[in-house]
Structure 1
Amino acid sequence: MESTTRAKPRILYAGAPTGHDFNSLREAGSLFVQGEADSLEDAEVLWVDCATTKPEQYTPLVERVLGAGKTLVLDHLDTQAHDFICRLVGTRIEDSAQTLLVTPRPANGPPPRYAITVLDAARGDRSSLHFEDAPAPRDWGAIIQEHQARSIHTAGGPGLIPPPGVMFGIKTQTLTSSKRIGIVQTTKFGFNSSFHVYRANGKSPPDYVVIWVQQATFAPFILTNEPAEQGHWLYAFQTECDSNLPGGLIATSPQAMSITELVTHLSVPLHVKYIQDGSCRPQFWSATHGPVARPWDGWSMTNRSSPALGKAEWRYFHRAPWNSEENPLAEFERWKASMYDKPRVKRLNLLADSTLTVETAAAWLFPAAVVQDNPKVTFSEKLKLDFVTFSTRSSSVFHESAFADGAANPLELDLVALTEDVTNPCR
């Protein structure tokens, strides 16, 4: 994974200034303790150690911090703190949670109202509600940064946000990777993705639908600027996402592309309950993403998704001036003359050495009977990139090929827990 440089946040610490967490927070941010400042205006984060702070001491601070749109961390959660935060954010939190990070989302943004990251000490790992897991190990600076970044970014448009009353949750995932290709050249690629989970409770027992939206970016680096060569070119790449349960894939996009643009558009009708005229009623509502259009002059795409396997997959490749599907590298001797205006290599289309972003979407349906047996579904996301160098070194014409790939950690979704909301009148 690619390392990043981050600015240290200003952290107001409420609790006894002792122990391992307090010392590690000194490295995570600019730390000051309660009483050193007259207000919370200087703080970006309020850190509350519930083990050494009484509710009457931290409750007023919590309400002011969240009201100002800042980040709250509750560490060493006890029963009182757990019940207090559940009431405040209107969402049930797992009893096993030890540490909780909460950031309000913009009032005019999509639900949920709060971004919440849960660290579960009982298992020694992390779990999250609505948003992606915080990174390990417990680098508090990185945990806070990742939580805040993901609290404001969700892949997918407003058409995926349901009306009030629909049982719904979001979980996100990010991959950022750098790979060395050959000796000195490097490529960067990654994605942001969101899994929108809906409880289709227009009938009983309910089915569950997961809509996935991914924005993947590929940034090839040029190997050389010598006239005889055109360097390392991205000529094909692949994106995919699959679940550990076969079948269930009901929709994918894009399906095809035009000559000049690629359009992603997905619409899935759901039988749900939502509030209308003051009461909850079963009715149909369509979760919709797009249309999103991106330029693709000189490129083409094939949708290789397999509903039977529950796998969504796309392959993108050159169409002009070199069609990497019709003229594969294995048959280079047959078509190599078309790549050269001797002694130089022809220039490929501009997108071949530019940063590219693609957007893909897919939907899975998990029937009630499957979810009753096991509510947890695991999704895996992967990227693969293919590169080539066309060259005339040593008065000969040849090519070199390479590839890079990356995969995020498998993401487990508890469909029932993720969509649960004890305050929802349509439960």
Structure 2
Amino acid sequence: MTTPAPLTRASIFAQAWPIMLGQTTVPLVGIVDTVVVGRTGDAAALAGVALGTTIINFLFWSFGFLRMGMTGMTAQAQGSGDAQEVRALLVRGLALGVAIGVLLFALQLLLVPLALSLLAGGGALDAAAGGYVAGRFVGAPASLGVFALTGWLLGLGRTRAALLLQIAMNLVNVVLDIWFVWGLGLGAHGVGLGTACAEWSALLLGVGIALRILGPGALTGLRTGLFDRAKLRRLFAVNADIMVRTVALLVLFGWFANAGARLGAVPLAANHVLMQFVSVSAFVLDGFAFTAESRIGGAIGRRSRGELLRATRLTGEFTLAAGAAFALLIHLAGAPLVAAITDNADVRAQAIALLPFAALVPLVGAPAWLLDGVFIGATRGRSLRNAALAATLLYLATDLLLRPFGAAGLWIALLASYAYRAAGLGLALPRLVRSVGVPLAEAPRAA
């Protein structure tokens, strides 16, 4: 196992930039998907992909604990010097992810009609969404397996390996989406199928990367530690809380998408276009949140309160600065980017009118994203769960109160949800700090 670099601004950025670059490609693929469909000028198809994305995000990211829980537990195992547990976590995570993915694939005939019936689609929207979702389900086992692999790599601080995995998957995704949609005319189904094929290629590559990191014979002798009851109980306890937290947030964003659908295909498509900008900023800022996960997890494993506080402060500085920069960038460049994404004049006009709200999301959301990273690294699933549940309930109440304001009300409620989540985690932060032991060594000075 590698020793983490000293806690300086330079080392934080060195660890974060590969994640930022890799994460940038995730929403860029979403933008390519949107452009591939959006340039056809078919608002119903574009809105159908938006609706299908909401369904897949809900179903797949309900198991996002495979990424988040793995990062915190792997970082803590590495911080405490438990190499055997680091190896065991990889096998447990992969096995659990692939098994859940197979179950989802088997249940899709029940899950998809139920999901479509709960969302305000209908007609052409349901047809496009159903085609996209059917394609994505082909990759369910691989998608959840990649969640676990990525979490394990991030927990080890192997951000460049995670970058390689992410870029390879997304390049394959872009190429196949263009081929399937523009070349073969598969429409929304082609977008989903291209993503599924890319996820399978990423799973194979990720397993190869992990085996190379561990070296020959690294998985031998794992049988005893692999099924340790105490460690399995902790795995499921942490993951259960994170799963509730994730489902609560997915309900929140699903409600936002459904509220747009309730207003019609054009508002839904406009919101989907704007959410691409939000996704880019969120995924890039996640570079610092993921770095916080790794650093906080290591600090917990070493029982170093000083390291925990310093990691929180340094990653917080970068996160807030990046949030402000993205807010300014979206405000200045958003309108021409909207015009480049879609040919539909009505969707363009609606998206540009709502652009100021989307520009505020990176700034308002930055504290919530950072604190997510802190608590995920500390594997404090209960605090994450409670904050997400409270934020979702408050968001739903806010959205209902603001419905008379139409699409603007939707975005104001979304902005408020980030503030609610940050407040909930902020209230729990002092208790987390007090729970960590006296620092083992003085933290190094900033670079």
Which interval holds the TM-score relative to the shorter structure?
A: under 0.3
**Which structure has greater strand proportion?**
1
Bigger relative contact order (CA 8 A; separation at least 6): 2
TM-score by length of 2: 0.24
Larger Rg: 1
